[in-house]
Amino acid sequence: MSEFSTPRLLRSLWPAAKAKTGGLASALTTITSAIIIRPMIRSFKNKGSEDIFDGISSKAARKICPQSIWPSATRKLDQINRVQDVTELQIPPGNRLEQLKGDRENQFSIRINQQYRVCFIWEEGHAYDVEITDYH
């Protein structure tokens, strides 16, 4: 899917539109007349992580992590997709944003839970090679 796919666009616009308008019909009107969105995630390292982000229950997605953590993983991916600076991911503190070392030098990670992380490279205001992984 393209970076401007309908599921991603609606997921990013829906909460604000619904809160602002208070209803389904007016929220959809707000979404259709919304401003241009500049997604921060530019690439995924694997198809499974991208499918989880897009809400697709594929074989590749099921190999990445248990379906029970997909809602949390999607929330973390949405956070990465919204921020303009990597330091914004320090909030909430539960993200535990950290710059990685060793064979993952130049990557950052945020926690999904005790076992799984979202790892990514942050360059010039965008996330690249985003992946959900158990790297321990």
Predicted confidence band of residue 13 (pLDDT cuts 50, 70, 90): low
| Res. 1: pLDDT tops 60 | no
What span, in angstroms and rounded, lies between the C-alpha atoms of 52 and 63?
11
| Res. 56: pLDDT tops 90 | yes
Q: How far is CA 67 from CA 11, 24, 49, in A?
A: 19, 28, 12
pLDDT tens profile 106-122:
999 999 999 999 999 99
Domain count along the chain: 2
Domain enclosing residue 5, as ranges: 1-37
For residues 118 and 52, state if they share a domain.
yes
Q: What is the value of pTM for the model shown?
A: 0.73
Helix (H) or strand (E) holding 129: strand 126-133
pLDDT tens profile 85-109:
999 999 999 999 999 999 999 999 9
For residues 56 and 98, state if they share a domain.
yes
How many other CB atoms are found less than 10 A from the CB of residue 13?
Answer: 18
pLDDT of residue 14: 54
What span, in angstroms and rounded, lies between the C-alpha atoms of 56 and 82?
20
For residues 33 and 44, state if they share a domain.
no
E strands along 60-116, which residues? 98-99, 107-111
pLDDT of residue 17: 56
Nearest residue to 130 via CA among 114, 112, 91, 113: 112
For residues 87 and 28, state if they share a domain.
no
For residues 45 and 21, state if they share a domain.
no
Write the burial class of residue 88 (CB in 10 Å: 0-12 exposed, 13-18 middle, 19+ buried).
Answer: middle
pLDDT tens profile 66-82:
999 999 999 999 999 99
pLDDT of residue 39: 80
| Res. 126: pLDDT tops 80 | yes
For residues 111 and 54, state if they share a domain.
yes
Task: List the CATH number of the domain containing 120.
Answer: 3.30.2310.20
The rounded mean pLDDT for the chain is 84
